Each structure stands twice: as C-alpha cells, then as structure tokens.
C-alpha cells in the first residue's frame, strides 16, 4: 500500500474500505449517503465549567432527520460502523486544518472526536491511525482522540499500543488523548495506567437511578484525581451538580445547540481538496 501522505489519499483509502464492508441494507443506505455528501458533522464547544470559556470543540457525525440523526442508530455491520469512526477522524482533521488556515493560533480550539478503540485496532483502522500520526502531524496536533474503551473488551497491551501510536515518538511533547466513559458499567481497570490527559464522562444524571449508577465512576474519579469533562449536560441543575462533583469542563445542549454542516464533497472534485 502506498503511504497516505495527502488528505485525498486518506479519503480514497476510507472510501475503498467502507464500500468493501457493506453487509446490511442500512450499510448500503449510509454508504450512498457518504457518496452523496449527506453525512454531516456537528460541533459543540467544550467549555470551562466555571467561566464558560471555550477550550475545545467536540465533533460528531450526523445523518437523517432530527429524530434519527445519530448515524450509529442504523442497523450497521460491525466493520462498516468502524469505517464511520474513521470518517469522523478524517472530518476532525479537516476541521482542524480549516481552523489553522483561518484563525490566529491563539483562537484555535483542538477538535475532540469520539472513537472506539476497537475501530483503531481493526486492521484498516490501525493503518489509518499510523499514517495520520506519521504524515499528518501538523494537523493531528490539533485533534484529540477520545477513546471509547472498555477494559473487559480490549486488552491492556492493545490499548497501550494505541496510546503509543497516538502519543507519538517525541516523549517530551506527546500528543494528548482522552478516555471516554459513556456507560456506567464500563470496566476501567487499567485506564489509570494509560495516563489519559482527561476523562470524558457522558452518562445521564436525570434520575435517581442514573445518579446511583454514576457513583462507581465518581469514586474512580476521586481516586485518580484526573481532570474530567461532563458531557450530555441538559439543564442548569445538572451543570450545578457536575460543578459540585468536580468537573473541569462541560458540553451539552444547555447553551450550545449543534448545527449539522457539510464540507465540500471529494466525490465532485478531482484535485486534492486539502493539499
């Protein structure tokens, strides 16, 4: 395989992978949407929980009407869904490059993109991660991978390998990464050994049952004394709760409603859009 040194080559690599993974009818539906540039992305600012300053941008991909805009809600085969994680990474790189070309360096916010560890351990995913880390360092510096990781499903050795690739070879200036927790039952056994820069907690807090389920995570956070981001903040009351619990940053639908957007499609442009 040729090195993926350009952004267009990353896209062509992903396009080939996603087409090869079509199994279900919904896979085909989403692939057609991918070709037609109908998969959009939405950004939300991640803010300092006390002064509301914007510190990061959180990016997710969307498709469909308002009621079904989570592309992962469709009946997708496993490896096809991994391709969507990789597409999120490509979009994050593109958003980061747009910022570096448009804004003063002091105004650039790193783009945080959720991505499953399994998607990066999958052969094509690992290849893409290695190529991005090697040939796209300048832009990757402004992208933070928020690893969705369950220690009961991913071995410590595999997780450490991923972190080593993400961090890069410069031990004095390692690239940051986060670990994301979106299920209270997630196994976090070896997460401290990975030394993530931040933890992103995206679990509901609306009901008494939700708050009870959150207690093991809260104990974990206090033991590790790691800074963390509160996600899915839906009300001022929830925001106040997260402040009391010790969150450093937050994002959600309280003040920042995301608007899905699209970049120009590669399918309609012959030259390298990013180069």
Flag whether 267 is in a domain.
no
Length of the chain counted residue by residue? 275
Total count of domains within the chain: 1
In-domain check, residue 272: no
pLDDT number for residue 271: 43
- So what's the pLDDT on residue 274? 43
Q: Does some domain include residue 233? A: yes
Query: Is 159 among the domain residues?
Result: yes
Q: Domain for residue 41, yes or no?
A: yes
Residue 158 lies in a domain: yes
Q: Does residue 272 surpass a pLDDT of 70?
A: no
Whether 2 is in a domain gets the answer no
Distance CA 251, CA 269 (A): 35
Cβ–Cβ contacts within 10 Å for residue 192, how many? Answer: 13
pTM for the model stands at: 0.92
271 within a domain of the structure (yes/no): no
pLDDT confidence of residue 260: 72
What DSSP designation does 171 have? Answer: T
Q: Any long-range contacts for 186-189 (C-beta under 8 Å, 24+ apart)? A: 186/149, 186/150, 186/151, 187/150, 187/151, 187/152, 187/153, 188/151, 188/217, 188/220, 189/151, 189/152
Per-residue model confidence (pLDDT) at position 18: 97
Give the domain CATH number at 91.
3.20.20.450
Domain range for 85 is: 7-260
Label residue 40 left, alpha or beta by phi (over 0 means left) and psi (-120 to 50 means alpha): beta
Strand, helix or coil at 206? coil
Nearest CA to 14 out of 106, 83, 96, 114 is that of 83
Confidence category of residue 254, pLDDT binned at 50, 70, 90: low
């Amino acid at each position: 395989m040729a090195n993926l040194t350009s952004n267009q080559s990353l896209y062509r690599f992903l396009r080939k992978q996603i087409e090869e993974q079509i199994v279900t009818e919904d896979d085909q539906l989403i692939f057609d949407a991918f070709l037609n540039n109908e998969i959009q992305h939405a950004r939300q600012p991640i803010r300092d929980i006390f002064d509301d300053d914007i510190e990061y941008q959180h990016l997710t991909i969307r498709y469909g009407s308002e009621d079904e805009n989570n592309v992962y809600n469709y009946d997708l085969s496993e490896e096809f869904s991994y391709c969507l994680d990789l597409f999120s990474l490509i979009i994050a790189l593109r958003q980061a490059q747009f910022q570096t070309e448009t804004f003063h360096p002091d105004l650039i916010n790193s783009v945080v993109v959720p991505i499953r560890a399994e998607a990066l351990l999958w052969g094509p995913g690992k290849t893409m991660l290695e190529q991005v880390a090697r040939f796209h360092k300048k832009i990757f510096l402004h992208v933070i991978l928020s690893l969705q990781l369950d220690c009961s499903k991913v071995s410590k050795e595999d997780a450490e390998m991923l972190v080593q690739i993400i961090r890069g070879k410069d031990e004095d200036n390692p690239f940051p990464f986060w670990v994301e927790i979106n299920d209270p039952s997630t196994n976090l056994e070896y997460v401290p050994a990975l030394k993530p820069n931040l933890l992103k907690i995206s679990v509901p807090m609306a009901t008494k049952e939700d708050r009870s389920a959150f207690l093991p995570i809260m104990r974990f956070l206090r033991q590790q004394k790691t800074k963390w981001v509160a996600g899915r903040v839906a009300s001022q009351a929830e925001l106040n709760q997260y402040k009391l619990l010790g969150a450093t940053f937050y994002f959600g639908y309280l003040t920042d409603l995301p608007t899905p957007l699209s970049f120009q499609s590669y399918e309609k442009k012959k030259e390298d859009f990013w180069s």
